[in-house]
């Protein structure tokens, strides 16, 4: 950590890298022609492996940043101003996650499509933030070691018992809630097990905060990350196989045959080590701004690629139809475009929000004026109909 600031620039750089990898990953996955998606293609195999690192890094960094900021202030428990801000942020992410899946054309005919209730990365990160807040509040009056111990334990439990709970359909819950726990209905992410990466990020942030003034913080942290990451990637599967043979517990065998959570955690360690090692080169203003604008980038990419609100996105017109050269060039252009638009939005955010609020107020005034005029017109029409009806009634009577 730099002596003159408490900001961890390498974390912002990691977040920038993760969001850019997410952009190209979504673009390539959605638009690359199916014939080129083959495990026999070395390039595609390498791309697919590195694409799988993106989400674990993103969740871990999100948990790291939020917990680091949460613990930076002296107030404890509910008195901590970051608790209120965190709750607001978590709810905001949930709301935006649902809004991005809203189809305005369906709304106009009074229909909400089933895809609206599917859960994506924003929902899970929002719920992860709220979960970390709850854990923090419950442990704020305990010894300082309780919070990191609980966060670490949650990660281990979620990753270890994933073979069990992934089989549950959660059919006893309403579908909108069950989507947070199962992919059976089409959810892309679920809070289980992805909360585990966020809580592990929170655990790491507490370690950084505790040893922030240590002379050899980064050399030690890099060495530990390399050893832990390499161990998880190359030896965790063998460990679970050995545990399965020694104990004859089926759970360990199930983990061995699908050990993606611990291996991906190893990848996260290595990514941390890489960015810590080259931290002095990661203070470029543009990189840091991209890392601090991930929400705006995510929203813009969702609208352009998947056609939020209108359904008219790139995915609708070019789904699985691009050749590798075109897809690669398109992915690069997509990353640049989304980042540029997001940075421009962040630069003029106050002005844009002011114009939106002004436009909404103007629209509301116009609606009120229209309503008042409509009421007057309806009254005149009603009076005219009433007059004609009475006139006809008298003629019929005569």
Please give the mean pLDDT across all residues of the chain. 91
Share above pLDDT 90 across residues of the chain, in percent, rounded to a whole number: 70
Asked if residue 385 is part of any domain, the answer here is: no
Q: How many residues does the chain have?
A: 398
Has residue 70 been placed in a domain? yes
The pTM assigned to this predicted structure is 0.88
pLDDT at 1: 38
pLDDT (0 to 100) of residue 117: 93
pLDDT higher than 70, residue 249:
yes
Domain housing 125? 9-347
For the chain, the domain total comes to: 1
379 located within any domain = no
Residue 5: what pLDDT? 46
For residue 391, tell me if it sits in a domain.
no
Q: What is the pLDDT of residues 340-373, one digit of tens each?
A: 999 999 988 888 878 877 877 887 787 777 777 8
Q: Does residue 37 form part of some domain?
A: yes
Residue 210 lies in a domain: yes
Q: Classify residue 207: in a domain, yes or no.
A: yes
Instruction: Express each pLDDT in 176-211 by its tens digit.
Output: 999 999 998 899 899 999 999 999 999 999 999 999
In a domain, 395, yes or no: no
């Amino acid at each position: 950590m730099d002596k003159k600031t408490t900001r961890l620039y390498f974390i912002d750089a990691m977040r920038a890298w993760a969001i850019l990898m997410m952009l190209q990953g979504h673009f390539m996955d959605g638009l690359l022609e199916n014939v080129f998606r083959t495990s026999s293609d070395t390039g595609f195999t390498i791309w697919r492996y590195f694409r799988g690192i993106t989400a674990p890094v993103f969740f871990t960094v999100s948990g790291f940043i939020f917990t680091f900021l949460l613990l930076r202030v002296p107030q404890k428990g509910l008195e901590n101003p970051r608790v209120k801000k965190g709750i607001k942020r978590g709810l905001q992410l949930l709301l935006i996650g649902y809004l991005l899946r809203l189809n305005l054309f369906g709304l106009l005919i009074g229909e909400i499509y089933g895809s609206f209730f599917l859960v994506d990365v924003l929902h899970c990160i929002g719920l992860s933030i709220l979960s970390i807040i709850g854990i923090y509040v419950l442990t704020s009056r305990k010894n300082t070691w309780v919070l990191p111990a609980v966060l670490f334990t949650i990660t281990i439990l979620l990753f270890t018992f994933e073979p069990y709970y992934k089989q549950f359909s959660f059919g006893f819950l309403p579908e909108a809630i069950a989507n947070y726990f199962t992919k059976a209905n089409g959810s892309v992410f679920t809070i289980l097990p992805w909360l585990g990466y966020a809580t592990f990020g929170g655990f790491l942030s507490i370690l950084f905060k505790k040893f922030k003034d240590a002379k050899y913080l980064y050399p030690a942290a890099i060495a530990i990350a390399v050893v832990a990451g390499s161990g998880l990637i190359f030896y965790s599967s063998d460990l679970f196989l050995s545990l399965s043979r020694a104990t004859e517990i089926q759970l360990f065998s199930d983990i061995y045959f699908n050990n993606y959570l611990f291996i991906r955690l190893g990848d996260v360690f290595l990514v941390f080590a890489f960015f810590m090692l080259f931290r002095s080169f990661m203070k470029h203003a543009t990189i840091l701004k991209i890392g601090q604008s991930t929400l705006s980038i995510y929203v813009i990419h969702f609208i352009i690629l998947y056609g939020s609100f209108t359904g008219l996105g790139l995915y609708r017109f070019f789904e699985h139809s691009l050749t590798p050269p075109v897809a690669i060039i398109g992915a690069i252009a997509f990353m640049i475009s989304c980042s540029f638009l997001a940075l421009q939005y962040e630069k003029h955010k106050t002005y844009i929000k002011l114009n939106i609020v002004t436009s909404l107020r103007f629209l509301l005034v116009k609606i009120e004026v229209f309503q008042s005029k409509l009421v007057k017109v309806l009254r005149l029409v009603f009076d005219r109909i009433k007059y004609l009806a009475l006139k006809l009634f008298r003629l019929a009577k005569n």
